[in-house]
Amino acid sequence: MSRDVQKEIADLVKSKPVVLFMKGTPSMPMCGFSARTVEVLKACQTPFDAVNVLADPDIREGVKAYGQWPTIPQLYVHGELVGGCDIAVAMYQSGELQTLIAGDVAK
C-alpha cells in the first residue's frame, strides 16, 4: 500500500495552529536546530504539535517536498510554513512570531 504522504502532511499542518516537524521530540531533541526551535515555541508560551521525522522516513522526505524547504526543522503556523530555526528565532526576537501565532495578522 502506498501512502499519500503529501496529504498526510497537509492534514497535519492544518489540524493544529502550530506544528513543528523536528528531529527527536520536544523533551529529547536530536538536533541543535530542532532544540532551539522548541525553545522558541516554549518561550512563546504556545501549545504546539511536534512531529518526529526520525520516526518516519516517508514524512522526513515528504515534508521537504511539501514545504519546498530542504531542511528540518520546519515550523508551520496556521497551515503555512514559517521557516526553519533561524527564521523562527529571528521572528521570535522581533515579536512577529508571537503575533503570527496569536492570529492578529490581517489575512
Q: What are the residues binding another protein (CB under 8 A)?
A: 31-33, 64, 68-72, 81-87, 90-91
CA–CA dist 2, 21 (Å, integer): 22
CB of 70 to another protein, least distance (A): 4
CB of 61 vs another protein, minimal distance in Å = 10
CB of 1 to another protein, least distance (A): 27
60-63: long-range pairs with CB below 8 Å, 24+: 61/5, 62/5, 62/6, 62/8, 62/9, 63/9, 63/21
Nearer to another protein, 54 or 87 (CB): 87
Measured from the CB atom, the residue of 11 and 86 that comes closer to another protein is 86
Question: Which helix (H) or strand (E) element contains residue 83?
Answer: strand 80-83
Angle at Cα 101 formed by Cα 95 and Cα 107, nearest 5°?
Answer: 100
CB of 83 to another protein, least distance (A): 5
In the complex with another protein, the residue whose CB is nearer, 31 or 54, is 31
Cell of 74: 520546519
- Nearer Cβ to another protein, position 41 or 72? 72
